[in-house]
Structure 1
Amino acid sequence: MTAATPPANRPRRQGSIPGRIALYATLSVLLLVFIAPMIWAVSGSFKLRGDIFEYPPKLIPSPATLDNFRNLLDGEPFWNWFFISVTTALIATAIAVFVCALAGFAFAKYRFAGKRLLFSVMFSSLSVPFAVILVPLFVLIVKSGLSNPWFALIVPWVAPAFGIFMMQQYIIQSIPDEILEAARIDGATEFGIFLRVVLPLLRPPLGALAVWQFLQSYNHFLWPLVLISETDNYTVPLGLNILFKAENRSFDLVLPGAVLASVPTILVFLLLRKQLLEGLSTGAVKG
């Protein structure tokens, strides 16, 4: 009976090969679908305007030119848009990561009056579309005299409910009370426990939250559209939008702008990819 076991297992191994081929083929097609627009944008950004929509399309520009980038950077305030978008997104992300970790720690490890009600209200806000609070938020910002773009572009993203919930769940699952009690016995303050004990253990979810939050702030279109009126203070999405809506549809400027605009998001992902993958895998296993 022992000798008959290997032949019985062979059909399973043989049968798994078509499944793997199908899986890899499906993943390859999905990868191509996701990456094809970026490849087309990079290729088109180096083409002459008349060659962008040539048929059949050519992947390698011939002739290749840098005039599109020169015209964008010399003729449009792209660097202003880029600087405002990146700076406000980085500030909003840094504040949001700290606030979400602190609030998640409080919800996970402390008891206080109104905790359940406050958490329920916070969690239920996830179901409210941003468009619903857009006008009230704008009126509140303007009436408070805080409509300066450098402030107003950051405020809506400093305490996202999703981030608080994410931190709260991770802390409950991954940080035992015994560690906190040991720190209290050693004489650490509550805020010192958060800084020295909790934060170092939150690197994976904080990295995942930072990537998500940066993308949210950097790519948002509706709030800057309502808030900003001066072209020089536009964010990158608004700037590319006015180029796209121009009378002559300036694709020769939109494509290089899109390529340059993607650089910060790619860098953030590459810098935090390890924490992002660890945070997502931890949530998948423990969630």
Structure 2
Amino acid sequence: MSAVATARDRLPGAATPPPATGNRPRRRYSRTGRILLYVTLSALLLVFVAPMLWALSGSFKPRGDLFEYPPNLIPSPATLDNYRNLLDSQPFWSWFAISVLTAAAATAVAVFVCALAGFAFAKYRFAGKRLLFSVMFSSLSVPFAVILVPLFVLVVKSGLSNPWFALTVPWVAPAFGIFMMQQYIIQSIPDEILESARMDGASEFGIFLRVVLPLLRPSLGALAVWQFLQSYNSFMWPLVLISNTENYTLPLGLNILFKAEARQFDLVLPGAVLASVPTILVFLLLRKQLLEGLSAGAVKG
């Protein structure tokens, strides 16, 4: 009977037997898992987005309507008086310019320095390399508050306390960025490419500029986003360094509005909305490099 059944199954017009149902529970489980995943991600998205939506909505509300209950997400009536009062009563654009320009300068310098240092640690042998790398890496465990006072004294004694310069000092060579670049270069840039460039007569610095940097675009984008956020959102270092209100950064400026005798939420909310614009733009401009850098690290590492 088995031989007859096998021959019958091989006939061109024979009916196809029904598929096995052994995978149905697995498919149901997979579908249930996806539903739970989507529900969890939606809940997390709501947790992160809700404060932003409330700040955006509140920035267009009169002060008396900010804490109405139940809360109304759509302002009624909507007004631009909060933005006008903020820009007229506070040096907001000065805070904005100092924060954006110093963060951009610190990011540009840090990305270049971290890539150069990571290239040296990854591809060169020199005396004291392991000791120097160990000291650099161990600095990740030191809180910034520990070096805050020594760094401040060093900057002031050196005559470099100008806010436009001093605000970039702590961020020009972050240990995390150097370690990140070193690991990415080890995994992504083979020695054969460098040897080929040397045989063509390229200098070591030329190899770094023309060969290494173009290959580091994904990791440089990820580092730039992280570094910009670190510098832009810095609060403790500007608080110690700056005493003139005109030279405040955005975190300090918004803090004095929040800590005023009558907390000026009608000014804090539009200030927070405007302050979030540069970070959103940086993420949108570098999101492709950020995702490529993170995915490359996940696959290779």
TM-score range, shorter chain: over 0.9
Residue equivalent to 1:23: 37
- The amino acid of 1:27's aligned partner reads L
1:133 aligns with 2:142: no
Residue equivalent to 1:91: 105
Distance 1:30 1:65 in 2: 30
Give the structure with higher Rg (CA): 2
> Where does structure 1 lack aligned partners over 5 or more consecutive residues?
none
Question: Which of 178, 184, 189 in structure 1 is aligned with 2:192?
Answer: 178
More moved, 68-77 vs 2-11: 2-11
> Where does structure 2 lack aligned partners over 5 or more consecutive residues?
1-5, 7-15
Partner of 1:229, secondary structure, is coil
Distance 1:136 1:162 in 2: 21
Question: Which of 34, 38, 43 in structure 1 is aligned with 2:52?
Answer: 38
Q: CA deviation at 1:3?
A: 5.4
- The amino acid of 2:157's aligned partner reads K
- The amino acid of 1:108's aligned partner reads A
Aligned residues: 287
- The amino acid of 2:268's aligned partner reads V
Distance 2:20 2:101 in 1: 61
Distance 2:293 2:121 in 1: 19
Q: CA deviation at 1:10?
A: 2.0
Question: Which of 132, 147, 168 in structure 2 is aligned with 1:118?
Answer: 132
Residue equivalent to 2:3: none
Residue equivalent to 1:214: 228
Residue equivalent to 1:271: 285
Distance 1:108 1:196 in 2: 17
Distance 1:191 1:237 in 2: 38
Runs of 4+ in 1 over 2 A off after TM superposition: 1-6
Distance 1:236 1:6 in 2: 64
- The amino acid of 2:230's aligned partner reads Q
Partner of 1:214, secondary structure, is helix
Residue equivalent to 1:238: 252
Residue equivalent to 2:204: 190
Q: CA deviation at 1:117?
A: 0.3
Q: Deviations 1:187-240 (Å, cap 9, x if unpaired)? A: 000000000000000000000000000000000000000000000000000000
Q: Deviations 1:24-80 (Å, cap 9, x if unpaired)? A: 000000000011110000000000000001000000000000000000001100000
Partner of 2:26, secondary structure, is helix
Q: CA deviation at 1:285?
A: 1.0
Q: CA deviation at 1:11?
A: 2.1
Distance 1:167 1:116 in 2: 16
Residue equivalent to 2:296: 282
Q: Deviations 1:224-258 (Å, cap 9, x if unpaired)? A: 00000000000000000000000110000000000
How many percent identity over aligned positions? 85
Partner of 2:23, secondary structure, is helix
Q: Given the two structures, how large is their TM-score scaled by the length of structure 2?
A: 0.94
Residue equivalent to 1:51: 65
Distance 2:288 2:135 in 1: 33
Q: CA deviation at 1:17?
A: 1.6
- The amino acid of 2:104's aligned partner reads L
Change (3 A) 1:119 1:3: farther
Question: Which of 26, 29, 47 in structure 2 is aligned with 1:12?
Answer: 26
Partner of 1:7, secondary structure, is coil
CA RMSD of aligned residues (A): 1.2
Residue equivalent to 2:175: 161
Q: Given the two structures, how large is their TM-score scaled by the length of structure 1?
A: 0.98
- The amino acid of 2:208's aligned partner reads F
- The amino acid of 2:89's aligned partner reads G
Q: CA deviation at 1:12?
A: 1.2
- The amino acid of 2:255's aligned partner reads N
Q: CA deviation at 1:19?
A: 1.3
Residue equivalent to 2:94: 80
Q: Deviations 1:134-155 (Å, cap 9, x if unpaired)? A: 0000000011111110110011
Distance 1:26 1:150 in 2: 43
Residue equivalent to 2:11: none
Partner of 2:173, secondary structure, is coil
